[in-house]
Amino acid sequence: MKNLLSGFLLLLLAGASNAQSKEDEQAARKLPQAFSDAWAKHDGRELAKIMADDVDFVTVATAYLHGRSDFEKFHVRLLSGRFKEAMITPLETTVRFLHPVYGRCSLELENRGR
């Protein structure tokens, strides 16, 4: 069974003086694939490694996670429980810079195996 998921990451982008450059956008666009690759390992600790220390993350169920520690705790539980066999594939990514040092990366994912 296939389900579509959407969510977004509020991420901290390095380099305030050069934020919103083509390189910053390319780095942000790589996040969904990195997220999917880490998810495939079903290891919340591994998934948390790609997040900034002060990440703000809103789940598809609208749970708000602040900081890498909250993100890791939530995903360790999730990926060892009901999503332990789920695989995700990024379908669409939208990047928008909200400030010179942070932006929003919205993504639509396909979820299989849950």
Q: Which CATH number is 63's domain given?
A: 3.10.450.50
Instruction: Give the other-Cβ count within 10 Å of 41's Cβ.
Output: 11
Whole-prediction pTM = 0.68
Separation CA 31–CA 45 (nearest Å): 16
The count of structural domains within the chain is 1
Q: Does 5 fall in a domain?
A: no
Q: Does 9 fall in a domain?
A: no
Q: Tell me, rounded to whole angstroms, the distance of Cα 56 from its chain centroid.
A: 10
Two tokens at 59? Answer: 């789940």
**Phi, psi for 42 (deg, rounded to 5):** 55, 40
Q: Does 84 fall in a domain?
A: yes
Q: Does 7 fall in a domain?
A: no
Q: Does 114 fall in a domain?
A: no
What is the residue range of 52's domain?
14-107
The SS3 of residue 110 is strand
Q: Does 1 fall in a domain?
A: no
- Per residue of the chain (114 residues), what is the pLDDT tens digit? 333 343 444 443 333 334 567 787 777 778 888 888 999 999 999 999 988 899 888 888 888 999 999 999 999 999 999 888 888 887 877 777 777 766 766 666 677 766
Two tokens at 82? Answer: 């009901």
